[in-house]
Amino acid sequence: MEIVLSIVIALVVLAAVGVVVQRRRRGGGVVASRGRRRDR
């Protein structure tokens, strides 16, 4: 039972780290804008 719980906790922690890393990696793009501007 304890082993199963440990594995589940480890998986949850790994998933959380994965989400954070993915979010960090998303940064770093070079984005082309169509240049549409609002009248000011």
Partner 1 sequence: MSILMRAREITGRPVVTLDTAEDVAEVKDVVFDHASATLVGFTLNRRGFLGSPMKEVLPWSRVAALGPDAVMIDGAGALGGGDGAMEDATGSDRDVIGAAVMTDSGTALGSVVDVILEVEDGARVVGFEVDGPEVERDRSAATLLIPVDDTIAVSGRTLMVPAAVRDFVQDDLAGFGAAVDAFRARLSEDAP
Positions touching partner 1 (CB under 8 A) are: 20, 23-24, 26-38, 40
Q: What kind and span of H or E run contains 26?
A: helix 2-26
Q: CB 15 → partner 1: shortest distance, Å?
A: 15
In this structure, which long-range contacts are made by residues 33-39, counting pairs with CB atoms below 8 Å and at least 24 apart in sequence?
none
Q: CB 23 → partner 1: shortest distance, Å?
A: 7
Cβ closer to partner 1: 1 or 30?
A: 30
Q: CB 36 → partner 1: shortest distance, Å?
A: 5
| Token output for 4 | 């199963």
